[in-house]
Amino acid sequence: MTDSGCIFCRIASGEIDSDRVYDGERVVAFRDLDPKAPTHILVIPRAHVPSVADLEDGDAPVIGELLLAARDIAREEGLVESGYRLVLNSGAGAGQSVFHLHLHLLGGRQFGWPPG
């Protein structure tokens, strides 16, 4: 299912151009237009899922591909040795601004803890 008003659905379908770095069966990934690190890639499901709270038990293959895609992209981007961060915000209070589930892959600089 897609949402015609959702920018990430439009990117996933190819309606909106993006700097795509991964194109899988259930998941696509592209470089963030407003990066917060030297490497900032968004990994999203093709199907419209607003947030983690909206996932269903049958979505396990999508979440699996989301994480495995992030792993593979991190390898391709040369981030494994230096480390990288995966961020998945759920809800406006956590910082989610686009309500289509997405995973941020961030790398290429030192990160502090705790975040936010």
Catalytic residues, which ones? 102
Contact 112, 74 (CB under 8 A): no
Sheet holding 103-107, edge to edge: 20-23, 27-31, 39-45, 103-107, 84-87
